[in-house]
Amino acid sequence: MKMIDGGICAAKGFKANGIHCGIRKNHSKKDLALIISDVPAAAAAVYTVNLVKGAPIAVTKKNIANGYAQAVICNSGNANTCNANGIEIAEAMCDLVEQHTGISSSDVVVASTGVIGQPLDITPIANGMDALCEGLSYTGSMNASNAIMTTDTYAKQIALEFELDGKVCHMGGIAKGSGMIHPNMATMLVFITTDAAISPKMLQKALSSDIATTFNMLSVDGDTSTNDMVTVLANGMAGNTMIEEDGEDFDTFMKVLNTINVNLCKMIAGDGEGATKMIECITSGADTLEAAKIAAKSVVCSSLLKAAMFGADANWGRILCAIGYSGADVDVNKISVTFCSPQGQITVCENGAGVAFSEERAKTILLEKNIEILVSLGDGAYGATAWGCDLTYDYVKINGDYRT
């Protein structure tokens, strides 16, 4: 596989656009996105586990229950959550797609992101549909990516080219996510497109399997969102033989999907609200995969550790503390910790105890934007990776006046 340009429009037959329709007060911020496939596509999705769910999730679940979709519409600035008429508004958004594109409203994925508990007026969305549809383009991924952002500081997109059954295929994704990011699914909005041919059953299997080691290992602030989801549309226009069972082609598809998702995880973690650093905790030597995952997630979720990373303070005790209360079945007397960055690496703990190290050298390593925390849990065969960010003054500032 190789990285290419194009985002969600890298795959054949997908066009997209994003505009400002008036949901957000800032006219320089796009707030309505549309993604269209030229043909019906296999569809799969995973959703937030928060008991409070946005109305668009219920409508999307209903619409893709048959395993197919052809369009995605998403607004930012308003989550359409905890609204008495939320289902009605989400369905109206799907109806607008049908009216303006001819695609059945029952083949539309609908999503919303933004402030919870504020009524969402359908009027600006309806008024913006002409411009949104007229601007649809096979190079419109960036416009759509910008339109789904809330507190994100930059658009997040990626695309890959790969081969299946001798056919050149493509997969691309866009994501939004900066705050309210915490396991388990979904914790953000991610839209992925591919021209590979794969059955809805196998597409759902691929997505559900992959999130266990990607998006479910991502945390910015410990708050699980009410709205967010990851969706994949596969329209089959690359012409490969349909993937309908496990095998070499499915394995290749899984590797590509994993690469897309890992890269989007890193982008989201690095763009956490107020963040200055992306933290990647890599555990190894665990006796079970579950222990490796629990330990890694606990480290990136620790507010004390996140604050230490903001201050470039090699306070490794906070790592052991986080593992100790995580519930992971580990022998704390076997834990070793190493900090890594482009400036090099430094071991600060071995066998559960501190070792002599240069604080100045450690600080130089931790002043970098991308930090790896390598945690050896023993001599077991399992490892895991989790992603997070530092905790800064700006996180409080952003969320202190987010609504007003």
Tell me which residues are annotated as active site: 187
Nearest-angstrom CA–CA distance, 46 and 186: 6
Nearest-angstrom CA–CA distance, 294 and 292: 6
Nearest-angstrom CA–CA distance, 110 and 60: 6
- In the block, tokens 């052991």 appear at 320
Phi and psi torsions of 2, nearest 5°: -145, 150
- In the block, tokens 């990011």 appear at 181
386 forms beta bridges with 281
17 forms beta bridges with 34
| CA dihedral sign, ordered 372, 373, 376, 377 | negative
Q: Which residues are CB-neighbours of 2 under 8 A, at least 6 positions away? A: 160, 161, 162
| Contact between residue 232 and residue 214 where contact means Cβ atoms under 8 Å apart | no
Nearest-angstrom CA–CA distance, 40 and 64: 11
Q: Cα 307 to chain center, whole Å? A: 23
Residues 289-318 as b/e (b if ≥16 CB within 10 A, e otherwise) read eebbbbbbbbbbbbeebbebbbebebbbeb
DSSP 103: -
Nearest-angstrom CA–CA distance, 35 and 137: 9
Nearest-angstrom CA–CA distance, 400 and 260: 33
